[in-house]
Amino acid sequence: MSTKDATSPILTARGLHHAFGQTEALRGIDLDVRPGEVLAVMGPSGSGKSTLLHCLAGVLVPDGGTVTYRPAGQPPVELRALSEPRRTRLRLTDFGFVFQYGQLLPELTAADNVTIPLLLAGTRRPEARRRATDLLERLGLEGAAAKLPGELSGGQAQRVAVARALVMSPAVLFADEPTGSLDSLAAENVLAQMLGLVREEGTTLVMITHDARTAAYADREVMVRDGVVGSGYRVSA
């Protein structure tokens, strides 16, 4: 067994249940996410995979079960036991998010969109701007910093969203269909750039996708069907 495999999970879900009205989205899910791994969560529409991601990230509090987060060098944290302000702070400092449509603020430049998490965390504006610009350059967006989202291509805008998600150096990046709105060439470019940064930084990535080609880039896949997780398998070392 490798050192990576022997490491305690950074996220542990046990017995997760969650319902929306009479509809059970999660029905007793158990899942471990290892530090530094790229995990693809697959499943048909309505299978519960996005609900699982939101519970793992502390966006949703499950009706039953637990999610434990183990930050490096610190005691484990049970997300359900945290107050909403503490979960909000955790999502700012330790977790990053990339959504299918980016959700950039249209009135702000690319660089200003990326600085938002830093400013919310108390970073001074000049330092936040420098870090945002550096990260945009690492994502191949040297000339895009001063552009508004409406002036960017879909792939460029999604790379700005990736930069915003990673600018705080999160321990875990959650990506919900991060390339689902892009054509195949742009999707491959965004995915390659995101995975390059994630692997370089040792960031854990939990990625929701319906696309087998996207999932093939992951270290491991799990399948969610009808609110339960099937067996996962490793697709790369």
Give the model's pLDDT for residue 18: 96
Per-residue pLDDT of the chain (237 residues; tens, 9 = 90+): 333 444 789 999 999 999 999 999 999 999 999 999 999 999 888 889 999 999 999 999 999 999 999 999 899 999 999 999 999 999 999 999 998 876 899 999 999 999 999 999 999 999 999 999 999 999 989 889 999 999 999 999 999 999 999 999 999 999 998 887 788 888 888 899 999 999 999 999 999 998 888 899 999 999 999 899 875 444 333
Write down the residue that tokens 């470019």 correspond to: 189
Contacts of 183 (CB under 8 A, 6+ apart): 154
Q: Residue 159: which of 79, 142, 66 has the closest Cα?
A: 142
Rounded CA-CA distance 20/26 in Å is 10
Q: How many domains does the chain have?
A: 1
CATH number, domain with residue 65:
3.40.50.300
Q: Residue 146: which of 116, 118, 120, 114 has the closest Cα?
A: 114
Q: 89 in a domain, yes or no?
A: yes
22-74 pLDDT per residue, tens = 999 999 999 999 999 999 999 888 889 999 999 999 999 999 999 999 999 89
Q: 204 in a domain, yes or no?
A: yes
Q: 108 in a domain, yes or no?
A: yes
What is the reported pTM?
0.90
Write down the residue that tokens 């793992």 correspond to: 56
Domain interval for residue 38: 7-230
Full DSSP string of 37-91: -EEEEE--TTSSHHHHHHHHTTSS--SEEEEEE--TTS--EEGGGS-HHHHHHHH
Q: Is 97 helix (H, G, I), strand (E, B) or coil?
A: strand
Q: 235 in a domain, yes or no?
A: no
Q: 200 in a domain, yes or no?
A: yes
Q: 237 in a domain, yes or no?
A: no
